[in-house]
Chains A and B, each alone.
Chain A
Amino acid sequence: MSAFDRRQFLQLASVGGAVYMSGLPGFARAADATTAADDFFFVQLSDSHWGFEGAPNPDAHGTLPKAIASVNALEQTPDFVIFTGDLTHTTDDPRERRKRMTEFRTIVSELKVKTVRFIPGEHDASLDNGKAFKEFFGATHYTFDHKGVHFIVLDNVSDPGAQLGDPQLAWLQDDLKQQATDARIVVFAHRPLFDLYPQWDWATRDGAKAVELLMPYRNVTVFYGHIHQEHHQMTGHIAHHSAKSLIFPLPVAGSQPKRTPIPWDPAQPYRGLGFREVAAQPRKAEYAITELPVQRA
Chain B
Amino acid sequence: MGLDIDSRRVDRRAFVGAAGGLVLGAVTGWALAAPPPRVIEVVAKKFEFVPGEIQVRKGEAVTFRFTAPEVPMGFNLADFNLRVDIVPGKVATLQLTPDKTGTFTFLCDVFCGTGHEDMSGTLVVT
Contact = CB atoms under 8 A, between A and B. Distances in A.
Interface of A: 90-92, 122, 126-127, 157, 160-162, 198-201, 205, 257-259
A92 B115 CA distance: 10
Contacts of B85: 161
A162 B109 contact: yes
B120 A258 contact: yes
| Dominant SS among interface residues on chain B | mixed
B107 A199 contact: yes
Contacts of A92: 113-114
Interface in B100-126: 104-105, 107, 109-114, 116-117, 120
B77 to A, nearest CB: 9
Interface in B56-113: 72, 74, 76, 78-79, 85, 104-105, 107, 109-113
Interface string B7-50: 00000000000000000000000000000000000000000000
Contacts, number: 42
B100 to A, nearest CB: 14
A200 B107 CA distance: 8
| Dominant SS among interface residues on chain A | loop
Given A161-B85, A257-B105, A259-B117, A122 B111 contact: yes
B107 A127 contact: no
Contacts of B120: 258-259
B105 A127 contact: no
A201 B109 contact: yes
A199 B111 contact: no
Given A160-B72, A198-B78, A257-B105, A91 B111 contact: no
Contacts of A160: 72, 110-112
Contacts of B112: 160
A127 B85 CA distance: 16
Contact of A199 (B79, B116, B117): B79
B116 to A, nearest CB: 7
B3 to A, nearest CB: 53
Given A126-B111, A160-B72, 4 more contacts: A91-B114, A201-B107, A258-B120, A259-B117
A161 B110 contact: yes
A198 B114 contact: no
Nearest to A89: B114
Contacts of A199: 78-79, 104-105, 107
